[in-house]
Amino acid sequence: MGFSFKSLTIIGLLLLQVMFLSSFTDCSKIPTAVGAASTALKSVPVYTYKIMNTYVHDYRGFTQGLVFEDGFLYEGTGLHAQSSLRRVALETGEILQLHRLPSHFFGEGITVYQDKIIQLTWKSNTGFVYRKDNFEMLREFNYSTEGWGITHDGQQLIMSDGTSTLYFLNPETFEEVRLIKVYDSNGPVKHLNELEYVEKQIYANVWQSNRIAKIDPQTGQVVGWIDLTGLLKLEGYRLPVDVLNGIAYDQTKKRLFVTGKLWPKLFEIQLIPVPESKKP
């Protein structure tokens, strides 16, 4: 019994496929895009912290935004009739300059972009632009979402609204350029709050948690978690305090600062990788 040309062709293709698969030492380990992505998500680094310095923080400040620039802290605070923009001396916590928002605005995140300070408000769909040197109001702008956190990458503003979405805005027109959805191995990461751009990554407080997400600004993937559990010790709770919120980065000296709403202290921390065996 002979073989047709078609049969020979099929046999040849099957032999080539077997040869290709046998080139792997273990066929069960043939890489797939899905498998690689899943592994990458599950193996992200986790960091704990070492406190390098502790500073006084105004316990009356409902911290919504925090920036370190030119040797000073700039802070945006919230709550109706209590919202403000401040310039603060790092070493002493002294408020050097203060601008109060009209009582009907609930202040949110801030960022310093070039010679301007940009501040969001929560549900008013309104942001403010100030001169950095004297807090003179330059203009208002509008957005369609809630305002939570804001930072920038040197080219575009990056804004959160309490969901898993981050919006990239033109810093001159405030028009949306693009957006990303933030996710980890468990799916969307919601409640993204205060933001800081640190060494080409976006750091984001996750509201009502002790965690900061390190986010790839191109894909939205969480590429690391910072666990700040226990940062504010029990003695810091003599007066009412609220959640962890507030990230600032000293680009020159590579210092990372964190605090919380109504916290009496601000901390300079160093990130310490958690060994794989000790990850939660």
Q: What is the pLDDT along the chain (280 residues), one digit of tens a residue?
A: 333 433 433 334 334 443 433 443 333 333 333 333 444 556 899 999 999 999 999 999 999 999 999 999 999 999 999 999 999 999 999 999 999 999 999 999 999 999 999 999 999 999 999 999 999 999 999 999 999 999 999 999 999 999 999 999 999 999 999 999 999 999 999 999 999 999 999 999 999 999 999 999 999 999 999 999 999 998 888 888 999 999 999 999 999 999 999 999 999 999 999 998 666 6
* Residues in CB range of 154: below 8 A, 6 or more apart: 197
Does an H or E element contain 201, and which? strand 201-206
pLDDT value for 237 = 84
Domain boundaries along the sequence of the chain: 40-278
Q: What is the pTM of this model?
A: 0.85
pLDDT value for 91 = 97
Tokens linked to 144: 């369609």
Cα separation, 34 vs 236, whole angstroms: 46
From residue 138, give the alpha-carbon distance in Å to each of 48, 57, 130, 157, 165: 40, 28, 5, 17, 28
Cα separation, 216 vs 218, whole angstroms: 6
Which parts of the chain fold into alpha helices (H)?
5-22, 33-42
pLDDT value for 41 = 57
Three state DSSP letters for 105-166: CCEEEEEEECCEEEEEECCCCEEEEEECCCCCEEEEEECCCCCCCEEECCCCEEEECCCCEE
Segments of 36-83 assigned E as strands: 46-56, 63-69, 72-77
CATH superfamily of 40-278: TolB, C-terminal domain (2.120.10.30)
Span between the terminal Cα atoms of the chain, in Å: 65
C-beta neighbour count of 112 within 10 angstroms: 19
pLDDT value for 32 = 36
**Alpha-carbon 76 to chain mean position:** 16
Tokens linked to 110: 């801030």
pLDDT value for 42 = 64
pLDDT value for 113 = 98
Which among 36, 45, 48, 43 is positioned nearest to 185, based on CA atoms?
A: 43
CB contact at 8 A, 181 and 225: no
Q: Report strand pairing: 46-56 vs 222-227.
A: parallel
Which amino acid type is present at position 194?
E
